[in-house]
Amino acid sequence: MSGGDTPRFQEIARHLSAEIANGNLVEHALLPSERYLAQKYGVSRMTARRALDTLVSGGLAYSEDRRGRFVSPARITYNVSSMISFVKDAQTAGKELTIEVIEAKLSAADAFVAAQLSIHSGDPVYAYTRVFRSKGHAIFMETEYLIAQLFPGFLDNELTQSTTGLLESCYNKTASAGEIVIRMRAVNTEEAVLLGLPSGQSAFELQQVIQDDAGAPFCFGRQLWRGELAEFIAHTIVKEEL
């Protein structure tokens, strides 16, 4: 393979990109290792690593800690301006989605969570952490907090379902409005394990306060998304000034 003045790592990255484009490397397929690429193309391990990192930075591949790099699937789209449950939205779009409950408990709200829910620090909240996967691969994890007195017996329910639907059907509580903040931050060790990421890698964090018909908050959640597996959209309305 010859590319004139093109750096070798870019040539290798282009070749792998072509293999992905023509279907020889399918979604979630394990990409060749650095050692294999170095031997095949007669380059250093560092050059092979740069080629693979180019695919990751371009969104064509993703990394899983100690397992290697894999072909990225089509990104999952999350409409952050909609109050529709992401689970329901994904299922409607035909996405295969599974939910694993990591922890669910009754706890005391810390000062930050209490402020988001307009309750007192120390008030009881239900706290639960879940990991969402598509075809066995982690997409995002979330921890949500519900005001306990509003949802008696909540932990007796099956939490591997849409909690939006659960709250509507069992507690007649509908999500009508909310506020959301999106930012990038590094994942900690525990989060990295759950998401299959190297510790310290960046992910999208979504913090959301959900309100009922009266505008009262009843749920606060934090989601951590693998950036290479998701995209976010929002609908805006432009009002003319009078």
pLDDT tens sequence across 138-174: 889 999 999 999 999 999 999 998 898 899 999 999 9
For range 96-116, the mean pLDDT:
95
Question: How much is the pLDDT for 104?
Answer: 98
Q: List phi, psi (to 5°) of 191.
A: -65, -40
pLDDT at 223 over 70: yes
Q: What domains can be seen in the chain, in order of their start residue? A: 8-71 (1.10.10.10), 76-233 (3.40.1410.10)
Residue 56 pLDDT > 60: yes
97, pLDDT greater than 90: no
Q: Across residues 111-123, what is the average pLDDT?
A: 97
The answer to whether the predicted template modeling score (pTM) of the entire model surpasses 0.75 is: yes
* Percentage, residues of the chain above pLDDT 90: 60
Residues 215 and 177 sit within 8 Å (Cβ to Cβ): yes
pLDDT, mean of residues 107-130: 97
10 Å Cβ neighbour count for 9? 21
Supply the pLDDT for residue 220.
96
Phi then psi for 145, rounded to 5 degrees? Answer: -130, 125
- Which pLDDT score is estimated for 89? 66
The amino acid at residue 240 is E
Report the distance separating Cα 141 and Cα 127, nearest Å: 13
Interval 125-149 mean pLDDT: 93
Distance of CA 224 to the CA centre of its chain: 5
Residue 235 is predicted with a pLDDT of: 75
